[in-house]
Structure 1
Amino acid sequence: MGISAKSLLNRLVQNIPRRKTIPKNPNSTTITTTTPSSPSSILAHLDSGRLSRAVSALYSSRPPLPPSIYARLFAICISPSSLVPARKVEFHLLSTIPHPPTFLLNRAIEAYSRCGSITDARELFDEMPHRDGGTWNSMLASYSTSGQPDEALALFVLMHEDGVRANEVTLACVLGCCASARAHALARQLHGLLVKGGLASNVVLGSSLVDVYGKCLGILDARRAFDDIPSPNAVSWNVLVRRNLEAGEPREAVMAFFRAITESDAPLLTFTFSSALVACADVGALDEGRQIHGTAIKSDVEGDRAVATSLVEMYAKCGALGDARRLFERTPSRDVVLWTSIVSGYASRGRVAEAEALFVEMPVAKSLVTWNAMLSGYVCASRHDRALDFAFEMLRAVTEVDHVSLRLILNACAGLACLEIGEQVHAFVYRHGYDSNRSVNNALLDMYGKCGALRSAESWFFAMGCQRDRVSWNSLISGFARHKRSEEALDVFVEMRREATPNEVTFSTIFAACANVFALREGKQIHAYMIRNNFETGGVIVRGALVDMYSKCRCLDYAGKVFDAEGSRDIILWNSFMLGCAYNGRGDMVLDLFELMQNEGVRADNVTFMAILLGCICEGFVDAGRGYFDRMSGEFDVMPQMEHYECMIELFGRHGRMGELEEFVNRMPFDATVPMWTRVFDCCREYGDSRLGEWAAKHLNESNPATIPVKFDVGNYSN
């Protein structure tokens, strides 16, 4: 097999002059015939970086030239602008040497790859009469560096079929392509070749195996491959830590880092520290993060920009904002990434004012990520009105937004039930092609559901088509349940099971829908479905929803069984059962549960005391209710809310403690509301207390001067 003249001419985009001429000087247009050039003049041009003149000198020289000249010429072709000179050098080589050395053609393939012409490289490869291992490696490397891993893997299969033995360079390149193409199955076959060829202990190839398995999310295979490396180096440990992190195993990443400290004598890479700190941030491992910080100081890498940024992010995400701020302040060169980390840290922890101050103080240009971090802080803090105002500021300051920005703006619209702006964002999403982004689509669906535009939510849900996922189904179910259309929520749940697998959010939402319409039969069926299909029923979220559903459906025994089931119990679960007991007229059980909750060390909140007061109302425990109300702020540090004052008015009034009712209303730290005065008025009418009744009527009339005056008359309402 030879290289055809036609293919050479096709690759040579510029014609070679018949007369070898160069200008007398750069400004002259006169063409004259030059004297033959020597190899030394070609090398002189190359040493000075004058590739075009070196190629011109090549064509004016007398063949044959030493192979080293061609090798130097191919080596200096390193960019797309060098493509034509590379073609000229290849043309000269093939036209002057009938059988050029294979290694020179390999250098030509490499030159074409560096110049960005993988087509020229493959054409030359296909026409070469003789190929060696270096030829295959050059072509494989060309595909790899040009971002075509699938083509490289296909070429490797051909190489194997031709009986060419792969060496360490080949295998390293192919493993890298497996990682890029996520070719897990082929990586396993290559692993077998490594073991068979006795190369499994090679640290470079072993590290490449760990890398490809990790990128293919075969993290167990990655760990086994790592354990087969007899002496892992710093790169090996870095790959292990990073791949565990990227595979969603941050705890394993942290453990791998501490293994590296104890088992490796070589200094770890700064990237390894950074990845381990990110893993600590993901799981809130503050103690481990502090230990890594200490190791970073000992290893003198604390000042590295990536490590410093990861440290600030770790402390911030773990809630140690003081440590994060101190480290931030003593970092001399603060780039936009570091500023974004500290702003995001304060914003994500709900300390929006401090995040805002830092955001304003930033001396460097703010990136879109910085704007998104601040916007996220407003949304997470439920400051949705400020979030929208900030979004408009952001749109004036940045050239473009991304899917994160749009999702957060839609979240703010949902929080404010602002359908008009939400629809405008939807139009923007459609015009700019973001309707292919699943997170944006789900945010749109959630916005329509929370704004009560359920017809739009349904239409958009069906328009999403194959992009629908479990989050989409949950949003639609939640929209119907939120707006008291529980029967439709149940219908959607039935349809969901044909397309997606429910999770605890699904079940908690659908049990709430059942509770809204007292659908005990459907609730029991769904509970049984969970048990039959081995869904987790012991989580506090699902148990809380089950307790609430059974309680509201007057099935307190079932609620008690769910509450007593094995598993942890958080304050929400306690509150659900206590409220359920109160709604079912079992105030005595509420007080017993409260004492049990105290014994288990669970801290009461305002909902807990709401349940206690409701229990005291239904049982007539007036003195006990007054005692619990007084203990709220003093002993439990829970400030009474409006609903607690309403409960106390109900407690005193329902049970005829009119004097205490009058005293309580007079001592409230705010003026009684119209519903409160109305309840006082009704209680006075019920118990025949004309003095207090006239007092309540007076305040009702003052509160509603535009209405017909209310007059107190025992046994009747008189206007």
Structure 2
Amino acid sequence: MGMNAASVLNHIINGEPTTPCSSKGATSSQAKALTTTIINHLRLGRLGKAVSVLFSAPVPFPFALYVHLFRICASKKAIVEVRKVESHLVSFAPTPPVFLLNRAIEAYGKCGCLVDARELFDEMPQRDGGSWNAMVTAYSQNGYAGKALGVFSDMHKSGIFAAEVTFASVLASCASILALWLSRQVHALVFKYGFGGNVILGSSLVDVYGKCRRMGDARRMFDEIERPNAVTWNVIIRRYLEMGNGKESVFLFFKMISLNVRPLTFTVSNALVACSSFRGFREVIQIHGLIIKISYEEDEVVSCSLIDVYAKCGDLVCARTIFDLLSPKNLIHWTSMVSGYTLSGKTRLARELFDRMPERSIVSWNAMLAGYAHSSQWDEAMELIILICNDMRNTDRVTVSLILNVSAGLSDLELGKQVHGYMYRHGFYSDLSVANALLDMYGKCGNLRKARAWFYEMRHFRDMVSWNALLSSYARHRMSEEALVIFWEMQQEATPSKFTFATLLAVCANIFAREQGKQIHGFLIRNGYDLDIVIRGALVDMYSKCRCLDYALNVFIGTSVKDVVLWNSLMLGCYYNKQSEAILKLFELMKEDGVKPDSTTFQAVLLACISQGCVKLGGQYFNSLSQDYFIIPQVEHYESMIKLYGLHGFFDELEDFVEKMPFQPTAPMLARVFDSSKEYNNTRLGKWAVRHLSFLKD
């Protein structure tokens, strides 16, 4: 034991003035001998035996011994021993001092036995500020914020002067239940009692305002603190990060460093996470340099965050270098690297690492399964699910949701039904994220009756995601009128999101419902929705398909930053409206705007070439797909080229093109060749197409 503990124990042994009573010398000497025995047990870590000696002794002991025992019992959460110590104290000290009973309340609180703590508090003949503080802290630390605030209110009404530590507990309770109005009142009391310069209370106020999403108040409070410490900086940086303002988090982190405040490891981790939110690669490199400088690179939290942020910024080489240099590696490091690979779509490398893991947790399995699901590698995901069922005794809600995503991807309704049963047996049916995944699965598997029935079962806890899932299911299966009915029902229960309107506009486009589309557009504007790039793309697509190209063009022109999806929507809109000549001009404007075309762009361009009879130009565009833009041509591009050559009678080019295709022509391609040959009376190519069609049928 250290010198402080040893001096405390010596004080207990020799502390005759602190003994509760007895005038009898024999009793005093007996207590001293038993105290030595108790302390020897404590030195050897035998708390139970030490308390048993005290509990069975019919003599009082020094108050310092009770204090010491309460403290040790609290640290070990030994509730039985706390009760024995308190029982002995009140049995042999008829009027124990208030400070001792306060220590007992604190010990009960640390052990989570709030009923015992409250009973003792209520039975105390006298209380001081420490008694009230012990009770407030006991409730606060055990998650009973409402009761903690109730005790504080009674304390304040009783005229008891609250100490700094009491205010800290009260503010923590306010933060846990987001009691903004009460927090402001406590803030006023902090200043009234002269604690305005206390950095701990200042940090607590920053924390509670941040959690209540009042970052203006949190920042003003932070700026008023004369010398914020590392904890204070961590609080403000974390709260900005939670509010989605990663850039401000990073700015404050670098400001803290410039003031020579050594950051906590959690602060460094938060700064790295903030960098990943806006892909601040340059800032990541600077923070990495600081990590090496202050020797944090071996810290588990920091190293895992480094791996994660490099992966999210696209630098998997650096992430893997950090991972390989770590020795030893723990489960979190392995899982972080696997997750990094899966987030970047490199599932093969992720699986290689996953198979080498010395141990796995359910989080590791979920990371690998999520990678397969996000990459639509359904067969590999199914194989992993079988391994999960064999390897893991328990699954969590993330696993269940992912398995439902896989069953939706495979359109495996039977697997989804099995998971539905598993949800009921293991209590996952009331988890909203799992319930929404089940709803989505039924919709994607085409069982809309089951989807609607499950949606009805969710009526007491469903949210906007639930409504959107049901709406998307009907839209996906071309039940557009029903989808519009669901939208009107939804408005009675929930506020539509931007995703809802994107789906609705697609529904209107599918059934050429121009008037409904216009109404939705007007609804968005009247209700102040942000018309982001996704919504604008959906509007362009809807107006184009509804033969309102001028409306589509107005939306397009009014968009400041145009992405490839928006350009594609307008190009295809021109094709639907028989304005194919405009597509080739738009393609050139798009390149001038610095937007890189994708496979859909080239499909629109090839359709324009077919309409305009630009056979040679179409061939050039097809070749530039792979040569200039490194895009692998899809089946639809080959079909378009066959249509282009066949429709305009370029049979030499058509025959050469078909022979050089990297795969066997499909039945629709051969049918197109045959129809073109028949129209132009090209018997030889027509017979070739018929022969290959017969092979496909065989």
TM-score over 0.5 for the alignment?
Answer: yes
CA deviation after TM superposition for structure 1 residue 123, in Å = 2.4
Deviates more, 1:248-257 or 1:522-531: 248-257
1:144 shift after superposition: 2.9
Cα distance, 1:358 vs structure 2: 0.3
The answer to whether 1:419 aligns with 2:413 is yes
Decide which moves more: 332-341 or 465-474.
Answer: 465-474
Give the conservation status (yes or no) of the 8 Å contact 2:90–2:96.
Answer: no
Q: Residue 554 of structure 1: CA displacement?
A: 1.9
**Structure 1: gaps (5+ residues):** 1-33, 706-719
Per-residue CA shift, 1:165-212, capped at 9, x if unaligned? 112122122222223333222221111112223322211111121222
Deviation at 1:372, TM superposition (A): 0.3
Q: Is the 8 A contact 2:603 2:637 kept in 1?
A: yes
Other-structure match for 2:403: 409
Instruction: Note closer, same or farther for the CA distance 1:666–1:228 as it changes in structure 2 (3 Å cut).
Output: same
Q: Please point out which of 18, 30, 33 is paired with 1:41.
A: 33
Alignment of 1:140-289 (within 5 A): 140-263=136-259, 265-289=260-284
Task: Within 5 Å, give how 1:111-150 maps onto structure 2.
Answer: 111-114=107-110, 116-150=112-146
1:25 matched residue in structure 2: none
Paired AA for residue 419 in structure 2: V
Please, which runs of 5 or more residues in structure 2 have no aligned partner?
A: 1-25, 43-48
CA deviation string 1:217-274 (max 9, x = no partner)? 33332222211111001111122222333344333322221121123x3322112112
Cα deviations across residues 651-695 of structure 1 (Å, max 9, x unaligned)? 122223333333333333333322222212212222233343334
CA distance in 2, matches of 1:72, 1:374: 50
- Give a deviation string over 1:65-94, Cα, whole Å, max 9, x none: 654455445445432131342233232344
Deviates more, 1:542-551 or 1:611-620: 542-551
Give the 3 Å change call, closer, same or farther, for CA 180–631 of structure 1 in structure 2: closer
Q: Equivalents in 2 of 1:76, 1:561: separation in Å?
A: 74
Query: Post-superposition shift, 1:283?
Result: 3.2
What is the letter of the counterpart of residue 259 of structure 1? K
Structure 2 residue aligned with 1:24? none
CA contact (8 A) 1:324 1:342 kept: yes
Pick aligned residue for 1:646 from 621, 626, 639? 639
Against the structure 1 CA distance between its residues 684 and 204, is the aligned structure 2 distance closer, same or farther, given a 3 Å change threshold? same
**Distance across 1 between alignment mates of 2:37 and 2:106:** 21
For the residue of structure 1 that corresponds to 2:225, the secondary structure is coil
3-state SS, counterpart of residue 458 of structure 2: helix
- Hey, what's the Cα distance between the residues in 2 that align with 1:532 and 1:115? 56
- TM-fit CA distance, 1:147: 3.5
In structure 1, distance between residues paired with 2:629 and 2:403: 38
| 2-structure distance, mates of 1:663, 1:114 | 82
CA RMSD of aligned residues (A): 2.1
Q: Residues 139 and 690 (structure 1 numbering): CA distance in 2 closer, same or farther, change over 3 Å?
A: closer
Distance 1:74 1:223, change over 3 A: same
Distance 1:69-1:562 versus aligned 2 partners, 3 A rule: closer
Asked if residue 345 in structure 1 is aligned to residue 337 in structure 2, the reply is: no
| Aligned pair partner of 1:528 in 522, 525, 538 | 522
Which amino acid counterpart does residue 327 of structure 1 have in structure 2? I
CA positional deviation for 1:58: 4.8
Partner Cα separation in structure 1 for residue 67 and residue 680 of structure 2: 109
For the 8 Å contact 2:89–2:96, the answer to whether it is kept is: no
Q: Given the alignment of the two structures, is residue 470 of structure 1 paired with residue 469 of structure 2, yes or no? A: no
Trace 1:316-355 onto structure 2 (pairs within 5 A): 316-355=311-350
Q: Which residue of 1 aligns with 2:362?
A: 368
The residue aligned with 2:611 is: 618
Counterpart selection for 1:395 from 389, 392, 407: 389
For the structure 1 residues 641 and 404, does the alpha-carbon distance in structure 2 shift closer, same or farther, using more than 3 Å as the test? same
1:57 is displaced (CA, Å) by: 7.2
Deviations 1:15-70 (A, max 9, x none): xxxxxxxxxxxxxxxxxxx9774342243133212533552575246xxx654455
2:577 aligns to what?
Answer: 584
Which residue pairs with 1:89 in the alignment?
88
Give the aligned partner of residue 552 of structure 2.
Answer: 559
Identify which of 505, 508, 512 aligns with 1:511: 505
Say whether 1:627 aligns with 2:640: no
Aligned pairs (5 A) from 1:51-130: 51-52=50-51, 54-55=53-54, 58-60=57-59, 67-72=63-68, 74-78=70-74, 79-95=78-94, 99-114=95-110, 116-130=112-126
Between Structure 1 and Structure 2, whose CA radius of gyration is higher? 1
In terms of mean alpha carbon deviation, does 478-487 or 128-137 score higher?
Answer: 128-137
Query: Structure 1 pair 542/74, CA: closer, same or farther in 2 (3 Å)?
Result: closer
Change (3 A) 1:650 1:52: closer
| Residue type of the alignment partner of 1:555 | C
Residue of structure 1 equivalent to 2:20: none
Distance 1:528 1:662 in 2: 52
> Could you tell me how far apart the structure 2 residues matched to 1:329 and 1:121 are?
51
Answer yes or no: is the 8 Å Cα contact 1:490–1:510 preserved in 2.
yes
* Closer/same/farther in 2, CA of residues 413 and 129 from structure 1, 3 Å limit: same
CA distance in 2 between partners of 1:107 and 1:58 (Å) = 21
Letter in 1 for 2:350: A
1:182/1:41 CA distance change after superposition, 3 Å? farther
| Partner of residue 285 from structure 2, selected from 281, 290, 297 | 290
The change in CA–CA distance for 1:140 and 1:588 in structure 2 (over 3 A counts) is: same
Name the stretch that deviates more: 109-118 or 575-584. Answer: 109-118
1:548 alignment partner, one of 541, 551, 567 = 541
Residues 1:416 and 1:67: Cα distance change in structure 2 (over 3 Å): closer
State the SS of the aligned residue for 1:38: helix
Q: CA deviation at 1:340?
A: 0.4
Give how far 1:284 is off.
2.4
- Which one-letter code corresponds to 1:268 in the other structure? P
Letter in 2 for 1:233: N
Pairs aligned (count): 663
- 1:466 is paired with a residue of what secondary structure? coil
- CA 55–579 in structure 1, closer or farther in 2 if over 3 Å, else same: same
CA shift for structure 1 position 131: 1.8
Instruction: Name which of 672, 676, 681 aligns with 2:669.
Output: 676
Partner deviation per Cα, 1:263-314 (whole Å, 9 max, x = no partner): 3x33221121122112223332222122111111111212212111111111
Please, which of 366, 370, 373 is the counterpart of residue 379 of structure 1? 373
- The SS at the match of 2:528 is coil
2:5 aligned partner: none
Task: State whether structure 2 residue 649 is matched by structure 1 residue 693.
Answer: no
> Residue type matched to 1:165 in 2?
F
Q: Identify which range, 299-308 or 375-384, moves more after superposition.
A: 299-308
In structure 1, C-alpha distance between the alignment counterparts of 2:371 and 2:69, rounded to whole Å: 57
Classify 1:167/1:91 alpha carbon distance in 2 versus 1 (closer, same or farther; 3 Å).
closer
Amino acid at match of 1:101: P
- 2: CA distance between counterparts of 1:479 and 1:577? 26
> For the structure 1 residues 685 and 284, does the alpha-carbon distance in structure 2 shift closer, same or farther, using more than 3 Å as the test?
same
Residue 51 of structure 2 contacts residue 85 of structure 2 at CA under 8 Å; is this kept in 1?
no
Deviation at 1:626, TM superposition (A): 2.2
Give 1:40's aligned amino acid. Answer: K
- Offset of 1:435 from its aligned partner? 1.0
Aligned to 2:45: none
